[in-house]
Each structure stands twice: as C-alpha cells, then as structure tokens.
Amino acid sequence: MPEDLTSRWRHTLTAAREGAGGPDPVPYAEQLLARWAEPQRRYHTTAHLTAVLDHVDTLAGHAADPEAVRLAAWFHDAVYRPDRSENEERSAQLAERALTEAAVPGARTAEVARLVRLTVSHDPQPGDTNGEVLCDADLAILASSPADYAAYAASIRDEYSFVPDQAFRTGRATVLRQLLGLPRLFRTPYGADRWETAARQNLATELELLTV
C-alpha cells in the first residue's frame, strides 16, 4: 500500500505544480505516510487515506480543481490527536508550509488549506464543488455495508479509548444526531444518489445501539 500511495502522491504533486520544478516529491510522501501510520490511530490510518483518495477519484469530475482536492485529502487528517480539538487547523497549516516549499502555486496551496479547514464542519457552501467532493469522499464510509460500518464505529471507539464509556456514548450520540439532522449528508449528485440512504440507515442504527 505505501508504494502505491507514494506513486499517487508523486503524480498528484507533479500535476499540482503545473509544470514548475521543485523538490523531490518522495520525502514529502514519506513524511505524510509516517503521520498517517502513527500508533494512536485506529480509523484515521493509511487505509482511510486510501479510501478517501479512491472516492475523490470517483467524484473528480464534479470538482473544479481535482488536484487541489487530492492534495487536501492527503493533508486533511495529517495531524491527528484524538484528545485535541485543533487537528484540522494544524493540518491546514502543515499543508501551507509543505506545499509552498514543494513549489505548488500559491492559489492552489491556499485552496488546499481552505478545503482541509472545511472538514471541521463538512458543510460546503452551494457551488463549492471542490468542498463538496472532499466532504463527500471523507464521509463515504458512512454509506458502507453494515459490517464495514460496524468496524468503522468500533475503530472510532478505539481511538477514543481514553474517554469513559458513558461520556463517549453521550458525545458520539450528539455527533450522530447532528449528522442525521443535516438536510443532506452528501452534496455531489453521485453521493446523494448512491450514499445518502445507506448512510442514514447506518447512522440511525448506531444511534439506536448507543441509546438503548
């Protein structure tokens, strides 16, 4: 998997430079992959990164700048500490530093950072096609099979193993209710058509199990 991911990173970074030269892409991939493999991660791992990149590829035709979305996927959980609340901001700042150094044009770097920050809310504005693609790709796990969704929910619990059970159940139930209260979970036509119903069923099932 890491070799494939390194190849994907090299291709994306080269395309994002728009023909400009720059540092060797591989060390950046190695540093990012080391972050995604940190021991505190149970769900936000290289497997999640791969899944999000795959979903971005599926949805890329909807995006105004697919390469910016792919770069944002790489950075969106690059900084991840489950006991901290500023992960997205720190990930966006990491993207700004790394992509500037890696010779990505300033406007695209700024767009990547904006997209990373958007994953705090997963609530892109109408017409924000880049944001719609990234957020749908990140949330696509919610529409997985019941077995895969159960494994996802269990891995989230593992990441928050330091939180007492009742506190976790209360907090997680709040998150699920907020998601279920959204008019739409998915904003791209593909996501709305293929993922919305299954995701709502999975979320409702988890909420019921948490609150019985």
Whether pTM > 0.85 for this model: the answer is yes
What are the pLDDT digits (tens) for 60-81?
A: 999 999 999 999 999 999 999 9
Between CA 156 and CA 42 the distance in angstroms is 7
Between CA 173 and CA 186 the distance in angstroms is 20
Contact (CB, 8 A) for 191 and 59: yes
Give Cβ neighbours of residue 201 (< 8 Å, ≥ 6 apart): none
- Sequential DSSP letters for 47-81: HHHHHHHHHHHHHGGG-S-HHHHHHHHHHTTSS--
Task: Output the pLDDT for position 3.
Answer: 73
Alpha helices, DSSP H, located in the chain: 2-16, 25-36, 46-59, 66-75, 87-101, 106-118, 129-139, 146-159, 165-180, 189-194, 196-211
Between CA 63 and CA 80 the distance in angstroms is 26
Backbone angles phi, psi at 80, to 5 degrees: -145, 110
Task: Output the pLDDT for position 212.
Answer: 80
Between CA 209 and CA 189 the distance in angstroms is 30
Residue entry with tokens 């044009």: 105
Task: Output the pLDDT for position 119.
Answer: 96
Contact (CB, 8 A) for 108 and 65: yes
Between CA 109 and CA 115 the distance in angstroms is 10
Q: What string of pLDDT tens digits covers the 212 residues of the chain?
A: 477 999 999 999 999 999 989 999 999 999 999 999 999 999 999 999 999 999 999 999 999 999 999 999 999 999 999 999 999 999 999 999 999 999 999 999 999 999 999 999 999 999 999 999 999 999 999 999 999 999 999 999 999 999 999 999 999 999 999 999 989 999 999 999 999 999 999 999 999 999 98
DSSP 124: P
